[in-house]
Amino acid sequence: MSNNEMARLERASFGSKLGVILATAGSAVGLGNVWRFPYMTGENGGAVFIIIYVVCVLLLGIPCMISEFIVGRHGQANTARSFRKLAGGTPWAVIGYMGVLTGFLITGYYAVVSGWCLQYIWASLVGHLQGDPEYFKAYFSELSSDPVKPVLWTIVMLGITYLIVEHGVRNGIERASKLLMPTLFLLLLVIVAASCMLPNAGKGIAFLFKPDFSKISGNVFLGALGQSFYSLSIAMGCICTYASYFSRQTNLTKSAVQIGIIDSLVAILAGLMIFPAAFSVGVNPDSGPSLIFITLPNVFAQAFASVPVVGYMVSLLFFVLLTLAALTSLMSLHEVSTAFFQEELFITRKKAALLVSVSTAVIGAFCSLSLGAVDGFVIFGRSLFDWFDFITGQVFLPIVGFLTCIFIGWYVPHKIVHDEFTNWGTLNGRFFHFYIFSVKYVCPLAILMIFLHQLGLLG
Ligand code: PHE
């Protein structure tokens, strides 16, 4: 028996196809879908942005996801070790370490934003989300700059994640995903229905689905491209780590397509939840990152003013949904480092998970405190929070994504790639050439363009 087969036998794995899809889609569906996608759509012209986004997911995001699947399933280990195996002693192994580092650094930051969601659930429950637009603005800035509350919520969020991850791949992550993802979908449909029944909702629907091609620009294109990578959780170690729990029967291409479709669908439904309500009360949908925490509570309060009970419920359900989406992504981020520490430090899963929760809570606390609670965390005009967002999302993500494509496209023997792609010849490899062409040329070029664009050097 080869080493790889032994590793496969000893290693944890997902128990079913559905588990694979729901857990990985859970990683992909996150704050990016419900928070970032709608405001990017608002800022970038609506329907046109959505069309370009879907094309980016299909032609670029999915090939990148398949590449990470291949590395992870072949490696049967944490992301760093999986890359190391394929790199065979060459410096290419660095990509895996960078992926783990990116995942690790973003965990704390992501937990802070997830923690805000918890606070908003609480606020909805006790009826604090009522007032005029100024009130909502003040509420959010008070919360984010508070020295204690957001830190506590961050710890709570990481604590919940710990309890899930600690239970292992099948009993923790897979089980939780099978419960959380359908719940999330159901909540989404309920809120979409409530939002689309409001007067004037049609305007919001038209904004989302009637393309105005005069809005196309380099910015719209690169924005959609960047969003598609972020939304699919690419280049953070998550996809690669989860793929190491896939079985030899998992069809990588089909799974990537299914996950891409679920992720895009949730993003578009999130738009359908937000824009009809926003248009119905005449609020501009291009209000940027504050859309979710400032604009939206106000929109819900106004839109359902005549039936406050419905307004109350919609707001509560919305933040529950946001928290569930954040939690499933946080689980995958947490797992990247948990698997890494467990396997590289030879410690138990429990210890590894605890180490990750505690260390990322410290990072999260610093990030949170840098938003106004404590002076001195502003470096070169950016808060620590913004630095984490910038370095992980805009620097590491494109670099790791770019290198992964080059690695698979140009370095790893095509025989290995083909074997994984076709499950050792048992699946049809019709799209293999298209896939290789994409990861060799198209994806690296596209990622390079996003990178230069984000640094202000292009578009
Ligand atoms: N894809 C997640 C989202 O849409 C974000 C994320 C990125 C999660 C990377 C994990 C890893 O919110």
Calculate ∠ Cα 117-260-173, nearest 5°.
55
For residue 92, report the distance from its CA to the centre of ligand 1, in Å: 24
Question: Would you say residue 375 has pLDDT above 80?
Answer: no
53, 114, 231: residue to mutate for ligand 1 pocket, most atoms within 8 A of CB: 231
Mean pLDDT to the nearest integer, 289-298: 80
DSSP string over 344-358: HTT--HHHHHHHHHH
User: Any idea which of 69-78, 79-88, 165-174, 276-285 has the lowest mean pLDDT?
Assistant: 276-285
Closest C-alpha among 234, 252, 249, 245 to residue 421: 252
User: Any idea which of 87-91, 263-267, 303-307 has the lowest mean pLDDT?
Assistant: 303-307
Question: Which helix (H) or strand (E) covers residue 379, if one does?
Answer: strand 378-379
Helices (H), 34-174: 37-43, 47-56, 62-75, 79-87, 94-125, 133-144, 149-166
Q: Is 348 exposed, middle or buried (0-12, 13-18, 19+ CB in 10 A)?
A: exposed
Question: Would you say residue 137 has pLDDT above 60?
Answer: yes
Residue 236 Cβ contacting ligand 1 at under 6 Å:
yes
Distance CA 63, CA 433 (A): 11
- Please report, in angstroms and rounded to a whole number, the separation of the first and last CA atoms in the chain: 53
Residue with the smallest CA separation from ligand 1 atom 9 is 233
Question: Would you say residue 9 has pLDDT above 60?
Answer: no
At residue 161, the 3 state secondary structure works out as: helix
Q: Could you tell me which residue, 298 or 87, shows the higher pLDDT?
A: 87
User: Any idea which of 91-95, 152-156, 208-212 has the lowest mean pLDDT?
Assistant: 208-212
Question: Would you say residue 240 has pLDDT above 70?
Answer: yes
Computed from CA positions of residues 448, 453, 457, 459, in that sequence, does the dihedral angle turn out positive or negative? Answer: positive
Number of CB atoms found within 10 A of residue 452's CB: 14
Residue 27 Cβ contacting ligand 1 at under 6 Å:
yes
For residue 425, report the distance from its CA to the centre of ligand 1, in Å: 32
Distance of CA 192 to the CA centre of its chain: 21
Residue with the smallest CA separation from ligand 1 atom 7 is 233
Q: What is the structure's pLDDT at 279?
A: 87
Residue 165 Cβ contacting ligand 1 at under 6 Å:
no
**Token representation of residue 194:** 């409530």
Q: Cα separations (Å) of 382 from 33, 372, 386, 389?
A: 25, 12, 6, 10
Q: What is the structure's pLDDT at 406?
A: 97
Atom of ligand 1 nearest to the CA of 397: 9
The phi-psi region of residue 385 (left if phi > 0; otherwise alpha if psi is between -120 and 50; otherwise beta) is: alpha
Q: Could you tell me which residue, 374 or 25, shows the higher pLDDT?
A: 25
Q: What is the mean pLDDT of the chain?
A: 90
- Angle at which helix 94-125 crosses helix 308-344, to 10 degrees, equals 150
Q: What is the structure's pLDDT at 349?
A: 96
Residue 342 Cβ contacting ligand 1 at under 6 Å:
no
Atom of ligand 1 nearest to the CA of 238: 11
Give the rounded percent of residues in the chain with a pLDDT score beyond 90.
63
Give the pairing type, strands 378-379 and 382-383: antiparallel
Closest C-alpha among 273, 284, 286 to residue 315: 273
Distance CA 222, CA 427 (A): 34
Closest C-alpha among 1, 14, 57 to residue 32: 57
Tokens 């419905």 correspond to 310
Distance CA 27, CA 151 (A): 23
Question: Would you say residue 373 has pLDDT above 70?
Answer: no
Question: Would you say residue 6 has pLDDT above 70?
Answer: no
Name the range with the highest mean pLDDT among 41-55, 135-149, 332-346, 392-406.
332-346
Atom of ligand 1 nearest to the CA of 37: 4
- pLDDT grade for 371, boundaries at 50, 70 and 90: confident
**Which residues fall within 8 angstroms of residue 302, CB to CB, at 6 or more apart?**
281, 283
Mean pLDDT to the nearest integer, 138-142: 88
Atom of ligand 1 nearest to the CA of 263: 4
**Token representation of residue 280:** 């119905």
Q: What is the structure's pLDDT at 134?
A: 83
**Token representation of residue 131:** 């007032």
Q: What is the structure's pLDDT at 390?
A: 76
Residue 30 Cβ contacting ligand 1 at under 6 Å:
yes
Question: Would you say residue 204 has pLDDT above 80?
Answer: yes
- Angle at which helix 252-280 crosses helix 17-28, to 10 degrees, equals 40
